[in-house]
Structure 1
């Protein structure tokens, strides 16, 4: 199984495509829906689902285009069930980019459980702090964590947006993510990939926690 990082949109939000053969799942199609659809077609990939680590505007901008193009379902956490339709909640009204919306998700996630989609299996971790419905998807087979805006290389998610909470974010990282195997690759919503052990050793936001 392979994953590809595709930075999209004005904030270079990382969309990830995790593929196995010709089947794939898409994490956080944040913008440039036509570009993403073309890339999928050029690589002869058949998407099975869109998985959202959270529903901030920069992670959902291409949701509707990709959903309709490939006729696939969207998954989001229950705490952000209303955010796709609401530009006040998803934050798009705050940044002068116009209202960014999508239709309601097809599947609402609320338990920390195993999620199986086609050949892909994930362990779900609810990791609030950056946003109330932030999810991290642990792909154990590939040793990778799709972490959204919870944990970055040398940094952590911002907590100054509605529903953000700095201490809650630190708790999520410490109790959920740092408990994963140290060699786990962390695939963040912005910037380069990192690893659990690298962030344990050098992330200044986690030192002394």
Structure 2
């Protein structure tokens, strides 16, 4: 995949021969991580967060791996995560899914002067629902704070979290942008710290991967303080 970083990762599951496959590249001026995800066996794949300039590279990598896109998902509606939605929908024919609270952001209105082709959601990413990509099951976790409709996708069997802009290595997503809410972010961080096993690998919307274990100390400290920035 073109972009500033190209990584292929395998994640072990309960069955040793079954590993989730992920390819990621960083795109656009915000260096947004786009993810191509599949189960390692079937031809079905998911794309998460096709940022600026990502569509062609994602389609190329899907073709090289013999994959067809089953769904395009957005972790939230900021323009750096939705920029190539329209191009990727057109190229793949895959439906687009986002949380309903961020659906209006798909119109592409932004303060940065970028012209983004509007798109329409075909499906909603709702708390408690699942995305099934071949044998890979991704639970939708609603984690508001960065935006009202921010979500993480959690593959429990594979101990893998696609965290969008909720959780990064050493940091959380900004809450000072439109739609951000510090109290909701605290609640989302508390939930992730409480519910996820320490060994879960975290693949964020920007920057390098991490693990829940590596982030637990500061997450618990911030949550315990009752305010972001502590």
TM-score with structure 2 setting the length: 0.81
Shift of 1:43: 2.9
- Structure 1 counterpart of 2:129: 113
Q: Distance in 2 between matches of 1:18 and 1:110?
A: 19
- Structure 2 counterpart of 1:37: 59
- Structure 2 counterpart of 1:14: 33
May I ask how many residue pairs the two structures share in their alignment?
203
Q: Distance in 1 between matches of 2:194 and 2:26?
A: 25
CA contact (8 A) 1:155 1:204 kept: no
Q: Distance in 2 between matches of 1:39 and 1:77?
A: 26
Q: Distance in 2 between matches of 1:52 and 1:19?
A: 16
RMSD (Å), alpha carbons: 1.9
CA contact (8 A) 1:130 1:159 kept: yes
Going from structure 1 to structure 2, the CA distance change for 1:128 and 1:188 (only over 3 Å counts) comes to same
CA contact (8 A) 2:190 2:219 kept: no
- Structure 2 counterpart of 1:23: 44
- Structure 2 counterpart of 1:71: 93
Q: Distance in 2 between matches of 1:146 and 1:109?
A: 14
Q: Find the partner of 2:162 among 128, 146, 168.
A: 146
Structure 2's unaligned 5+ residue stretches are 1-19, 226-230
Shift of 1:205: 7.1
- Structure 2 counterpart of 1:128: 144
CA contact (8 A) 2:126 2:140 kept: no
CA contact (8 A) 2:193 2:212 kept: yes
Matches within 5 A, 1:128-207: 128-202=144-218, 206=222
- Report Cα offsets for 1:114-136 as digits up to 9, x if no partner: 33344331111110000000011
Structure 1's unaligned 5+ residue stretches are 88-92
Runs (4+) off by over 4 Å: 202-205
Query: Secondary structure in 2 aligned to 1:163?
Result: coil
CA contact (8 A) 1:130 1:150 kept: yes
- Structure 2 counterpart of 1:90: none
TM-score with structure 1 setting the length: 0.89
Shift of 1:5: 1.8
Shift of 1:202: 4.7
Query: Secondary structure in 1 aligned to 2:222?
Result: coil
Out of 192-201 and 168-177, give the one that drifted further: 168-177
Q: Distance in 2 between matches of 1:115 and 1:177?
A: 23
